[in-house]
Amino acid sequence: MSWCEECCGPCECYDPDRLPPEPQGLELKGNALVAYLDSLTEEQRQELAGPWPVRWLYPWREGEPERGMNVCGGCGGGCAGLRLVLGVELDMVCIDTNADATATARASGCNAILLDVTDLDPRHPALRWTRRVVFTMPCPDWSVAGRRLGLRPENVKILTDAISDVAEAYGNVWVSGGHGGDVSTAVFREPLDVSVAEMWSWVDELTQDKRTAGLMLAPVLVGMGLIAAGAPLDSVIIEQAWTLPEEVRSAIGIEYVVAGWEGVRWDVLDAGQFGSPSARKRAIMSASRKRRLDAVKAPGITTWASDAIGWDPETRINTRGVRKTSGGNEFALGRTMPGVTSKIRGWYDAADCEHRFTIAEVCLLVGLPADFPVVGSRTSQCRQLGDVLSPLVAAVVWAVLLGLDWELPLRRYLAGLYENVHGHLEAYAEAA
Query: Of 235, 402, 370, 390, nearest to 298 (Cα)?
Result: 390
**Residue 4 pLDDT:** 38
pLDDT per residue as tens, the chain (432 positions): 333 333 333 344 434 344 334 445 788 889 999 999 999 999 999 999 999 999 999 999 999 999 999 999 999 999 999 999 999 999 999 999 999 999 999 999 999 999 999 999 999 999 999 999 999 998 877 766 656 676 788 889 999 999 999 999 999 999 888 877 678 888 999 999 999 999 999 998 885 555 688 999 999 999 999 999 999 999 999 999 999 999 999 999 999 999 999 999 999 999 999 999 999 999 999 999 999 999 998 998 999 999 999 999 999 999 977 666 655 689 999 999 999 999 999 999 999 999 999 999 999 999 999 999 999 999 999 999 999 999 999 999 999 999 999 999 999 999 999 998 887 655 555 554
Residue 282 sits in the same domain as residue 346: no
For residue 41, is it within any domain? yes
Task: Tell which of 11, 31, 64 closes a domain.
Answer: 64
Residue 223 sits in the same domain as residue 128: yes
Residue 142 sits in the same domain as residue 34: no
Q: Which residues lie closer than 8 Å to 307 by C-beta, 6 or more apart?
A: 277, 313, 418, 420, 421
For residue 294, is it within any domain? no
**In this structure, are residues 148 and 156 in contact, taking their beta carbons and an 8 Å threshold?**
no
Residue 220 sits in the same domain as residue 123: yes
For residue 409, is it within any domain? no
Q: How many residues does the chain have?
A: 432
Distance in angstroms (rounded) separating the CA atoms of residues 242 and 281: 6
Residue 326 sits in the same domain as residue 192: no
Residue 52 domain boundaries: 2-64
CATH code at position 247: 3.40.50.150
Task: Tell which of 370, 387, 404 closes a domain.
Answer: 387
Residue 54 sits in the same domain as residue 101: no
The domain total for the chain is 3
**Residue 206 pLDDT:** 82
Residue 271 sits in the same domain as residue 170: yes
Residue 57 sits in the same domain as residue 123: no
Query: Of 336, 361, 334, nearest to 347 (Cα)?
Result: 361
Task: Tell which of 368, 387, 406 closes a domain.
Answer: 387
